[in-house]
């Protein structure tokens, strides 16, 4: 368990005081992948650097297990950091060292013997999928391979916590997917807790269990990823969700699309988990004397399961439409909202 209480970071310049992280409270469960999302300047990178004290906090506490990181003396902090790995956006590799030598570097600092070091490095090279590239230099690697080296190096001392600061933002979409798959594999095989900082909701959707949304140094919304997708409360969260599920401006334009057939009801359906794979529309059309016109829809997957939205126009007798709506609300797990009585 990671417990963060009242965490604060402020910078004082000649002109003004800047609060980068503002009284932040979070509890992160052991073994989960926890995402923190925000736009540039939200304070998320400062926050993650406060966890291992690459930045010194102005106030508050960070407790990992039974250790309050914010109160450790220099030598105790150095030892505690061996339990915290970190993956950076721009890899931070030593360009004069080979893949194997980069991964071995933290083991050298820790004083591990050469024999044990060699064995551990090979284990990590195999784990991250770089077998055969041990003697390559960073300049000979692709972006994805460099990040794999960074991940392997961060795991060298068998940490309990892995911090990822925009670990995929410098990569193309296909490489990003492969790196995210690797992080999930590491999480599942090693039971490693991962805190992942990003500005992309696609990254959160693919691998995170829970997410915190940051804005102006504060956590403005937090919850299970699927819940946040289904019921975003803050405007900033709605913007992030629209990265994955489509532009909300398109939804606002839906009523005008019905001008040629202004009757019935406009319905928004939200499908969750197994319900996303059921043939609800055909069931309703067969069971009730109604016509259903599909206006717009999209389905995607999260770590917790499938999630989708579908906008439909239902026409027919009012009583029959109401019966169909009642059926969805009482007999299925699909969430239904009447957007407009046309």
C-alpha angle 81-21-69 in degrees, rounded to nearest 5: 25
Which pLDDT band, with edges at 50, 70 and 90, does 298 fall under? confident
Q: How far apart, in whole angstroms, are the C-alpha atoms of residue 267 and residue 232?
A: 19
C-alpha angle 222-224-229 in degrees, rounded to nearest 5: 85
What is the model's pLDDT at position 251? 56
Which pLDDT band, with edges at 50, 70 and 90, does 301 fall under? confident
Per-residue pLDDT reduced to its tens digit, 175-201: 999 999 999 999 999 999 999 999 998
Per-residue pLDDT reduced to its tens digit, 131-154: 999 999 999 999 999 999 999 999
Is residue 280 within 8 Å of 328, Cβ to Cβ?
A: yes
Of the candidates 296, 298, 315, 307, the residue with the CA atom closest to the CA atom of residue 334: 307
Which pLDDT band, with edges at 50, 70 and 90, does 164 fall under? very high
Of the candidates 38, 4, 43, the residue with the CA atom closest to the CA atom of residue 217: 43
| Beta-bridge partners for 211 | 35, 223
Per-residue pLDDT reduced to its tens digit, 231-253: 889 999 988 888 776 655 455 55
Q: How far apart, in whole angstroms, are the C-alpha atoms of residue 62 and residue 192?
A: 18
Q: How many CA atoms lie within 13 A of 124 on its CB side?
A: 28
CA separation, residue 279 to residues 267, 307, 315, 332 (Å) = 16, 15, 19, 11
Two tokens, residue 161: 């916590």
CATH class name, domain 248-341:
alpha beta
2-244 CATH: 3.40.50.300
What is the model's pLDDT at position 304? 67
- Kindly list the domain boundaries of the chain, sorted by start residue: 2-244, 248-341
244 Cβ neighbours under 8 A, 6+ residues apart:
201, 202, 205, 229, 300
Which pLDDT band, with edges at 50, 70 and 90, does 89 fall under? confident
| Average pLDDT score, the chain | 89
Two tokens, residue 232: 């975003």
pTM of the model: 0.83
Ordered alpha helix ranges (H), 52-98: 74-80
Q: Is the pLDDT of residue 57 over 70?
A: yes
Q: Say if 2-244 and 248-341 have the same CATH topology.
A: no
What is the model's pLDDT at position 229? 84
What is the model's pLDDT at position 242? 81
């Amino acid at each position: 368990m990671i417990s963060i209480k009242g965490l604060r970071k402020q910078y004082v310049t000649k002109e003004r005081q800047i609060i980068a992280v503002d009284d932040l409270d979070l509890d992160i469960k052991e073994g989960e992948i926890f995402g923190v999302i925000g736009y540039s300047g939200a304070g998320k990178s400062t926050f993650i650097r406060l966890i291992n004290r690459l930045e010194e906090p102005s106030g508050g506490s960070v407790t990992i297990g039974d250790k309050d990181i914010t109160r450790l003396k220099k030598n105790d902090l150095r030892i505690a950091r061996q339990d915290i790995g970190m993956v950076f956006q721009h890899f931070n590799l030593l360009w004069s060292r080979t893949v194997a030598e980069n991964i071995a570097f933290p083991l050298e600092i820790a004083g591990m013997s050469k024999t044990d070091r060699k064995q551990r490095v090979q284990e990590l090279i195999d784990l991250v999928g770089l077998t055969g590239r041990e003697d390559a230099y960073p300049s000979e690697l692709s972006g994805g391979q460099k990040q794999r080296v960074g991940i392997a190096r961060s795991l060298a001392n068998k940490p309990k916590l892995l911090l990822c600061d925009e670990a995929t933002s410098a990569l193309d979409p296909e490489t990003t997917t492969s790196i995210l798959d690797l992080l999930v594999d590491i999480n599942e095989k090693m039971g490693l807790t991962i805190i992942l900082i990003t500005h992309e909701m696609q990254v959160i959707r693919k691998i995170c269990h829970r997410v915190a949304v940051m804005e102006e140094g504060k956590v403005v919304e937090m919850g299970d990823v699927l819940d946040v997708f289904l019921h975003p409360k803050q405007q900033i969260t709605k913007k992030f969700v629209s990265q994955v599920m489509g532009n909300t401006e398109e939804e606002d334009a839906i009523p005008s699309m019905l001008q040629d057939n202004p009757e019935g009801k406009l319905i928004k359906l939200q499908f969750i988990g197994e319900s996303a794979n059921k043939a609800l529309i055909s069931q309703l059309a067969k069971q009730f004397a109604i016509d259903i016109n599909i206006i717009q829809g999209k389905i995607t997957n999260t770590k917790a399961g499938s999630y989708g939205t579908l906008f439909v126009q239902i026409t027919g007798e009012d009583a029959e439409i109401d019966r169909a709506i009642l059926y969805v609300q009482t007999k299925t797990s699909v969430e239904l909202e009447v957007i407009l009585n046309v």
